[in-house]
Amino acid sequence: MSAPSRRRLLPAAAAALVALVTALVALAVPAAPAQAAAAPYVALGDSYSSGVGTRTYFDSTCKRSNAAYPRLIANARGYALNFQACSGATVSTVTNNQLAALTTGTEYVTLSVGGNDAGFADVLTECAMPGWASNCSGAVTTARNYINNTLPGRLSTLYSSIRTKAPNAVVVIVGYPRIFMGEDCNAGTWFSPSEMTSLNGTADLLNSKLAAAASARGFKFANPTTRFTGHAVCDSTEWINGLSNPVAESYHPNTLGHSSGYTPLVSPLLVG
């Protein structure tokens, strides 16, 4: 007897069989989960945000540091950081040079600004000199007058611009710590106890205006006063540099100030 004949599948039937097998394989193998895009985070502000005081910079012009809190937070949370903060920034330079980074897709914003507007570096320089050679009280009074009378309006305008450019973003305004703990242990400076108290009070006043302007716009405020208590200049563990070489590093948070001070303060607010 002859062998039984083998049936050949018609082309259409073969194609249907291949499609069926492919579909069954696809059902058996789960698809890889889609990767969410990193949330856009824009860090605005001055030297307290750029990282001056950490002594290591990837941008020598603006003194931006990978040890600064914006970078530490972005790395920990997986945010896509647009690092705009720049040493010496004022309300005006933030407005003119940094706000262009904001878009309707920006999800998170941090900002520290106001200290340079009030001339805080000049006030510190004046008060660091011996009493007979300086007018610390006059410098402090001038700074406080500016903080009370001029800065609030400028902050309001700036915060309004931020909200317009980034309407859906969580915005955290970051304040300034008290620098002194009541004792000046640095050779080359002559801060008296009363001057240090006055300077700390000026930082408190600045924070109060920042907090009020933030609240009025619906922004969050990160007040570092309590967080930095026990870690001021001349404390046993300084999170803020005293008089330093180079002098530009002086009276700014060091690496611990950013990693142990600002990062755990700001990070929990930079969500939502």
- Any idea which residues carry the catalytic annotation? 47, 252
The distance of Cα 225 from the centroid of its chain, to the nearest Å, equals: 16
Instruction: Round to whole Å and give the CA distance between 23 and 150.
Output: 69
Measuring CA to CA, which residue among 228, 111, 131, 236 is closest to residue 183? Answer: 236
Q: Which residues of 138-149 are buried (b: 16+ CB within 10 A; e: fewer)?
A: ebbebbbebbee
Contacts of 184 (CB under 8 A, 6+ apart): 190, 191, 192, 196, 233, 234
Helix or strand (DSSP H, E) at 220? strand 220-222
Which letter does DSSP use for residue 99 in this model? G
